[in-house]
Amino acid sequence: MASGRLDLDGNLIKPMTICMIGAGGFIGSHLCEKLMAETPHKVLAVDVYSDKITHLLEPSGGVSSPSVDRIQFHRLNIKNDSRLEGLIKMADLTINLAAICTPADYNTRPLETIYSNFIDALPVVKYCSENGKRLIHFSTCEIYGKTIGSFLPKDSPLRQDPAYYVLKEDESPCIFGPIEKQRWSYACAKQLIERLIYAEGAENGLEFTIVRPFNWIGPRMDFIPGIDGPSEGVPRVLACFSNNLLRREPLKLVDGGQSQRTFVYIKDAIEAVLLMIENPSRANGQIFNVGNPNNEVTVRQLAEMMTQVYSMVSGESPLDTPTIDVSSKEFYGDGYDDSDKRIPDMTIINRQLGWNPKTSLWDLLESTLTYQHRTYAEAIKKTTSKSTAC
Ligand code: NAD
């Protein structure tokens, strides 16, 4: 196992204990895998679910076996469990990933969204601050809201000027819609917890790092409705489109799929998080955008590329009508709104950690859709044949 590993300044990295809250989710599962495979660190994995990390917790099989004694699962809900403080005290570093973070919830379950992203994170910040423990907190690129450029006239040449759309951690404003657009409940709760953490740093010396992920995608993201999640559930865009492709249904494009997004491969992004974990003197006190500005597409283009890649991976020809348009009201309900465009500025993460994303959108979709096909195609066929037999 990795010993004698050096940080970016040439110092020996000491093994540490990490309390990872939300370790059973998409990002947490990849981070646990990375820590077990490539580092000597221990993980106290906190979550209400463990399905995505069972391969690391079981004593048999593959990559998992050397990790078993370095990862411990604690099934607890941070809303109401007194064991939380003890776990934070036992660790050198706490990473908080726990959140409700699917857009379909922001306007339909705004109270739970606000509680989960702000109120439930408060004790984590407090225990870290009071016990002198380092905190890496997961925020979101949604906290930038809309770009300044989106308020310019449609034909303004300034819309092409990066100064009006590139999102910078230390300069860009956070621009949200009105309160009745409840979509912004998530972004606003994340913004307030960022401000609180920043203030704990300024007033009480909390050592913190804030991560703003820009659409990290890859295997194990969310669920496929009716297979490993509720039939009526609406996961994030990657799983929604995967579900449509697996079921041979047209992909639903909300409001024409005109929003622009940048997508980064989860494995590239996890490299950035590992650099933060192991280089505290470069990461403390920083807010980092983590995304891939080279992988920008409209959601419509994403749907088209996923259709092409899935056809290659599955050997099935695409449908004659691969996409259909739906309104945001029909798809998400009242109170939905959206950011137009999200391009991360990479200056700070480049300067502090020398990190750059590597994987192209085509390549990351190829490995992700290969995983989706291998994991779900048979199960979907079975449920479809059952329902036709009834
Ligand atoms: P995820 O939903 O897959 O993982 C979150 C995990 O937290 C889940 O396993 C959930 O069970 C757990 N959790 C939630 N509330 C909990 C509670 N009260 N007690 C214990 N566990 C709880 O989401 P993810 O994609 O892994 O995202 C992790 C973090 O990164 C979130 O804070 C999210 O807002 C942020 N983020 C992610 C992305 C992305 O691209 N994936 C983008 C922006 C922000």
One-letter amino acid at 327 equals: S
The whole-number pLDDT of residue 389 equals 63
What tens digit of pLDDT does each residue of 51-62 get?
A: 999 999 987 655
370 SS3 class: helix
Q: Mutate which of 20, 27, 124, 212 to test ligand 1's pocket (most atoms within 8 Å of Cβ)? A: 27
Q: Where are the alpha helices (DSSP H) in 24-73?
A: 26-38, 54-57
Contact indicator for 78, 98 with CB cutoff of 8 Å: yes
Which residue is closest in CA terms to ligand 1's atom 4? Answer: 25
Contacts of 250 (CB under 8 A, 6+ apart): 244, 319, 321, 322, 323, 324
Residue in 262, 232, 259, 247 with CA at minimum distance from that of residue 340? 259
Structure-block tokens of residue 244: 């449509």
CA-98 nearest atom, ligand 1: 7
Provide the residue range defining the domain that includes 215. 99-381
Distance from residue 51's CA to the centre of ligand 1 (Å): 14
Which residue is closest in CA terms to ligand 1's atom 34? Answer: 101
Residue 2 lies in a domain: no
Contact indicator for 118, 192 with CB cutoff of 8 Å: yes
86 SS3 class: helix
The whole-number pLDDT of residue 384 equals 79
Distance from residue 220's CA to the centre of ligand 1 (Å): 12
Q: Which residues line ligand 1 (CB under 6 A)?
A: 22, 24-28, 46-49, 77-79, 97-99, 101, 116, 120, 138, 140-141, 213, 215-216
Q: What is the DSSP letter of 334?
A: T
Distance from residue 255's CA to the centre of ligand 1 (Å): 26
Distance from residue 27's CA to the centre of ligand 1 (Å): 7
Residue 364 lies in a domain: yes
How many separate domains does the chain show? 1
- Distance separating the N- and C-terminal Cα atoms of the chain: 53
- Whole-number average pLDDT of the chain: 95
Residue 92 lies in a domain: no
Among 127, 144, 165, 186, the one annotated catalytic: 186
Active site residue 310: no
CA-222 nearest atom, ligand 1: 3
How large is the ipTM? 0.99
Residue 15 lies in a domain: no
Residue 57 lies in a domain: no
Residue 255 lies in a domain: yes
Residue in 343, 345, 350, 291 with CA at minimum distance from that of residue 168? 345
The whole-number pLDDT of residue 386 equals 72
The whole-number pLDDT of residue 64 equals 47
From CA 119, how far away is CA 293, in angstroms rounded? 32
Beta strands, E only, 48-194: 71-75, 93-96, 134-138, 166-167
Residue 243 lies in a domain: yes
Beta strands, E only, 129-173: 134-138, 166-167
From CA 9, how far away is CA 281, in angstroms rounded? 10
Burial class (CB in 10 A: 0-12, 13-18, 19+), 120: buried
Q: Mutate which of 26, 81, 83, 265 to test ligand 1's pocket (most atoms within 8 Å of Cβ)? A: 26
The whole-number pLDDT of residue 4 equals 85
- Spans of the chain, pLDDT less than 70: 1-3, 60-67, 387-390
From CA 51, how far away is CA 45, in angstroms rounded? 12
Distance from residue 124's CA to the centre of ligand 1 (Å): 15
From CA 297, how far away is CA 294, in angstroms rounded? 9
Residue in 105, 110, 47, 39 with CA at minimum distance from that of residue 70? 39
What CATH number does the domain containing 212 carry? Answer: 3.40.50.720
From CA 229, how far away is CA 149, in angstroms rounded? 38
Residue 40 lies in a domain: no
Which residue is closest in CA terms to ligand 1's atom 13? Answer: 98
